[in-house]
Structure 1
């Protein structure tokens, strides 16, 4: 998990660096002594977790979070004052730690962040009607919906087939199906969802899509026939 520290107090930063070293899965990307520098580092680096002070000269930690909008990483506020707790949690941060930060309290917050990251990992998010975003290894990749040929359940993974390329994401087929527009995609088998516009031929209980054979189960055959409107 890539971490960034933003705090104007050098001793506080050194403390957090030592605490990060307690967990080998935490990778320190950098440290900043002001929110403006931190803002630019967030935009140019893959940051998963931000350890952020609130009261700093210039831009405050809360102002920084608001400026990031939907692009913000997970955030743990570390501050000397409890007064900001309500406002901080309104920003949907992972946790709010009052300084001095103890190792036990720090690791408790890290576990919360890991749980959130695990939930988000390999999930599909949709931009309606045009694109989906998938996590492919450590890269979030945008796929055009009209490039997707079909999706296939493979155990705990879903295979997404495009022309001459396969992507695999850690998810259930049902979870992915719920995020796809049903005017484009159709389930034809308990293990397959297809892009209807990509069907080349239908031969009995099999579809041919870009030279790939996709089975159609009896339970979904009527829905397929209605959808393709055979003349």
Structure 2
């Protein structure tokens, strides 16, 4: 587990480094005296954990947390003030420690962060599966994501089209979309989700995929063009 310490007080940073050095699986890979400096560091070297102060001159720790968005590291706030705690926990941080930091309290917070990081990694591993299981008649079949050309909503069913055939599964298109990896698939119509790398061409509101036309709704066209990175 590696971490970045962000605090505008040098003594506070030194204290946190000393505490972190007592945790065998925690490595301090950097420190920053402000939120903007931390943001720049994270662009070049992502970390697992942020030990983050709140009141800083350039930007607060709360503002930095919002700026980093969903892909932010796990965060432990460390502040001299208690009044930010409710707002901090609304941002789904791992913990909130008040200064002066007590060693036992620090270790408790690190334990929470470690559990969250392990849980996140487990979820990533699940998402890295390259297939899903579907029921084909009375047989459960493994269908690779790279086999799917597109998914088409048909009433209470979804047809998963491949180059050879299609499979009909009894569920809404939204449920299928959530199971398909977002880096490979995109919704182009309320009734269609397509594999981006299987698109052959797009013309006049219709794309061709596997020699079959698929409509592109106006509401999804801008997102599709952005995703295709058209020159």
Considering the TM-score relative to the shorter chain, is it more than 0.5?
A: yes
Aligned to 1:121: 121
Aligned to 1:186: 134
**TM-score, length-scaled by structure 1:** 0.58
| RMSD across aligned positions (CA) | 2.7
| 1:2 and 1:46 in contact (8 A); partners too | no
| 1:186 and 1:195 in contact (8 A); partners too | no
Aligned to 1:42: 42
Cα deviation, 1:136-184, whole Å, max 9, x if unaligned, reads xxxxxxx9xxxx4xx4xxxxxxxxxxxxxxxxxxxxxxxxx5xxxxxxx
Deviation at residue 226 of structure 1 after TM alignment: 8.2
**2:26 paired with 1:78:** no
Deviation at residue 197 of structure 1 after TM alignment: 7.4
Helix, strand or coil for the counterpart of 2:167?
helix
For structure 2, the residue ranges without an aligned partner over 5 or more in a row are: 149-164, 169-231
The verdict on how the C-alpha distance between 1:198 and 1:35 changes in structure 2, with shifts beyond 3 A counting, is closer
Aligned to 1:2: 2
For structure 1, the residue ranges without an aligned partner over 5 or more in a row are: 126-131, 135-142, 152-176, 178-184, 200-224
Q: How many residues align structurally?
A: 150
Moved over 4 A (4+): 187-190
Which of 132, 139, 144 aligns to 1:195? It is 144
Residues in 2 aligned to 1:124 and 1:15: alpha-carbon distance in whole angstroms: 33
Aligned to 1:25: 25
Helix, strand or coil for the counterpart of 1:101?
coil
**TM-score, length-scaled by structure 2:** 0.58
Cα deviation, 1:46-105, whole Å, max 9, x if unaligned, reads 211000000011111111111111121100000000010011111111000000001100
Cα deviation, 1:10-46, whole Å, max 9, x if unaligned, reads 1100000001001111111100111100011112112
| 1:32 and 1:38 in contact (8 A); partners too | yes
